[in-house]
């Protein structure tokens, strides 16, 4: 019997030459529940595996960023020179929605992506680093332009309208700063294996 049975996955046990029926018998002998046995045989893929098709991810990028931009333009047009309403409540709310979408379980920005290299192989580390590098390039460019524009906006219009413009620019920068690495990763990652390919 393999000593570290509890520490090894079913795949590892098989690779060490333990037959499937013996693994199952040993799991039952150790009092594992049917659910635990099922999970041991069919482990849930880590978060970064549940990524969906590239087409779906790209639609999500266009939907979230495009939706945010559309809302920002509408709110900007709806705001008046003497009031920042409705920019102030709605645009930050849109930021929260977009961030929640991209922080969700089906997208990339899981804890493991930011926490370190744990659980990532060389391809995933490489993709993560490329995404962060590209995100920084884009974000830095946008932030510099937005910074200058916001100063000009408040200098030319030291009333609510200037504040509205500045808030819009700040919210745009905040959105990019928090979600862009994930979005770039999602945009670039190839299609995952299909169900048929996975069982191969």
Partner 1 sequence: MLRAERDLSRQQLADALGINYQTIGYLERGDYNPSLELAFRIAEYFGLPLEAVFSRQPFAPMSSQLYRKEESA
Say what the alpha-carbon torsion angle 115, 121, 126, 132 is, to the nearest 10 degrees: -20
Q: Phi first, then psi: what are they for 81, rounded to 5°?
A: -60, -25
- Least CB distance to partner 1 at residue 74 (A): 39
Distance CA(175)–CA(170), nearest Å, equals: 9
Residue 199 binds partner 1, judged by CB under 8 A: yes
Binding residue for partner 1, selected from 14, 28, 111, 133, defined by CB under 8 A: 14
Nearer to partner 1, 82 or 121 (CB): 121
Residue 192 binds partner 1, judged by CB under 8 A: yes
Contact partners, residue 64, CB within 8 Å, separation at least 6: 97, 98, 101, 102, 179, 183
* Alpha helices (H) in the chain, listed in sequence order: 10-15, 20-29, 34-41, 54-78, 87-103, 111-115, 122-156, 160-188, 195-199
Nearer to partner 1, 1 or 200 (CB): 200
Residue 198 binds partner 1, judged by CB under 8 A: yes
Binding residue for partner 1, selected from 6, 9, 62, 80, defined by CB under 8 A: 9
Name the 3-class secondary structure at 83.
strand
Residue 193 binds partner 1, judged by CB under 8 A: yes
How many residues belong to the site for partner 1 (CB under 8 A)?
Answer: 19
Nearer to partner 1, 31 or 196 (CB): 196
Region binding partner 1 by CB under 8 A among candidate stretches 133-141, 147-155, 161-169, 188-196: 188-196
8 A C-beta contact, residue 33 and residue 39: no
Binding residues for partner 1 restricted to 92-151, rule: CB under 8 A: 120-124
Nearer to partner 1, 16 or 133 (CB): 16
8 A C-beta contact, residue 142 and residue 180: no
Contact partners, residue 5, CB within 8 Å, separation at least 6: 13, 26, 30
- Least CB distance to partner 1 at residue 35 (A): 21
Residue 159 binds partner 1, judged by CB under 8 A: no
Binding site for partner 1 (CB under 8 A): 9, 11-12, 14-15, 48-49, 120-124, 190, 192-193, 197-200
């Amino acid at each position: 019997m393999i000593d570290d049975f509890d520490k090894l996955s079913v795949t590892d046990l098989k690779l060490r030459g333990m037959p499937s029926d013996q693994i199952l018998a040993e799991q039952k002998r150790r009092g594992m529940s049917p659910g635990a046995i099922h999970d041991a045989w069919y482990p849930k893929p880590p978060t970064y595996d549940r990524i969906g098709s590239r087409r779906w991810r790209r639609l999500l990028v266009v939907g979230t960023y495009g939706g945010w931009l559309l809302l920002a333009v509408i709110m900007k047009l709806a705001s008046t020179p003497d009031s920042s309403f409705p920019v102030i409540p709605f645009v930050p709310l849109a930021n929260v929605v977009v961030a929640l979408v991209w922080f969700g379980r089906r997208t990339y920005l899981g804890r493991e992506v930011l926490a370190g290299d744990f659980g990532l192989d060389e391809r995933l580390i490489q993709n993560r680093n490329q995404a962060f590098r590209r995100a920084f390039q884009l974000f830095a460019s946008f932030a510099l332009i937005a910074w200058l524009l916001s100063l000009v906006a408040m200098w030319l219009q030291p009333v609510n309208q200037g504040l509205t413009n500045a808030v819009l620019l700040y919210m745009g920068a905040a959105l990019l700063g928090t979600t862009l690495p994930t979005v770039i990763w999602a945009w670039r990652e190839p299609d995952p294996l299909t169900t048929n390919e996975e069982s191969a």
